[in-house]
Amino acid sequence: MTDADFADFDPRVGLAVAVLAVSTSAILVRASDAPASVAAFYRVAMTTLLVAPLALWRDPGAFSKLARRDLLAAAATGVALAVHFAAWFESLAWTSVAASVTLVQSQPLFVAVGAWALLDERIIRGTTVGILLAVGGIVVMSLGELLGGGVGPRPLYGNALALLGGVMAAAYVLAGRSLRQRFPLFPYVTVVYAVAAVCLFAFVLAGGHPVVDYAAREWVLFFLMAVGPGVFGHTVLNWALGHLESSLVSVSLLGEPVGSALLAFLLLSELPGAWTLAGGVVVLAGIGVTARSRTGVS
C-alpha cells in the first residue's frame, strides 16, 4: 500500500483524525494497571503486527528497494520513538494527565529549531506566532496544574519525564518529515515501529517485569492502544508528514492535551479547572494561527 492509495484524501483531515486518536492514549494508559514499559511495548508491538501485513501485501519487495542509509535513519527514528513512549508512559504514573500530556507536547519548540537548522524550512512570522501562542497555552495549563495541587506523587520527576518524551517526539517528527519524502508509508512505519518494539522489549526485560502474565482486561487495553493511538494516530500522522510541513504537524499535535482533557471529563468525570480550560483555548488559537499561515489563508 502506497501514498497513491490515499491521493484523494485531504492530509489536513488525516491530521485531525490523528490528533483525535492520540488524544485517547493517556486515558488508555491510565486505565491500565500494567507497568509503563509493558504497556508501551505491547502498544507498539501490536501496531507493528497490524501495519506490517499491509506493507508486505501491496509491495512485498519494498523493503529490498530501500537504501541502507534510509533504513538506518528509520531505525534511529524507532529508537527515538521508543524513548518517547517509555518516558511519557512512565510520567503518567507520577504527575497528572493534563501536566504530562501538555509537557510532552512542548516539542514544537525543538521541532521549529530543528526544521530550520536541519531541513531548511523557513519559519514565517505567522507560524512563529502560532507556535509561541500554542506553547503559551501549554504553559498556562501546566501552571494551573502546579498551582492547583494534586499533580501526582512526584510531579517534578513526572514532568521531567514528559519533557524528555517531548524532546524525543521532536526528533521523531523531524526525522519522519525528512524520510517520508522518499520512504513509502507502510514500509517506513513498519521499520520504525519494529525497532521501537525491540527497544521497548529490552526496557521490559531490564525492569524485570512479567512479559505475558496479565489479565484479559489489560490485553484489551493494549489492543485499543495499538488500533487507536497507534494505527489511526501515529500511522496517519506519518502519512501526513509526507504531505505537510513538520511545523504544522507538530503544532497541530498540541490539540492532544485539549482532546485528552475532554475525554477525561466525558469518560472519567474529571472536570478541567479554569486554568486548563483557558490554556486549551489558547492552544487551539495557536493551532488555528499556524494552520492559516501554512495554507496562506488571510
Q: What is the mean pLDDT of each run of 10 residues along the chain (298 residues)?
A: 54 85 90 93 93 74 71 87 94 82 76 71 76 82 66 75 88 75 75 93 95 94 93 80 70 78 78 72 77 51
Separation of alpha carbons 158 and 229, rounded Å: 21
* CA distances to 79, 116, 144, 148, 167 from 171, in Å: 10, 13, 28, 32, 7
Spatial contact of 97 and 41, defined as CB atoms under 8 Å apart:
no
Backbone conformation region of residue 106, classed left if phi is above 0, alpha if psi is from -120 to 50, else beta: alpha
Q: Which residues contact 76 (CB under 8 A, 6 or more apart)?
A: 175
Separation of alpha carbons 169 and 231, rounded Å: 17
200: cell is: 521497548
Which residue type is seen at 215? A
Separation of alpha carbons 169 and 190, rounded Å: 18
Please give the pLDDT value at position 297: 39
Please give the pLDDT value at position 279: 78
Backbone conformation region of residue 296, classed left if phi is above 0, alpha if psi is from -120 to 50, else beta: left
Please give the pLDDT value at position 145: 63
Q: Nearest to residue 201, comparing CAs of 31, 18, 48, 4?
A: 48
DSSP per position, 145-196: HHHH----SSHHHHHHHHHHHHHHHHHHHHHHHHHTTTS-HHHHHHHHHHHH
User: pTM for the complete prediction?
Assistant: 0.79
Which residue type is seen at 117? A
8-state DSSP, 208: T
CA dihedral (190, 84, 146, 108) positive or negative: negative
Please give the pLDDT value at position 291: 61
CA atoms within 13 A on the CB side of 248: 26
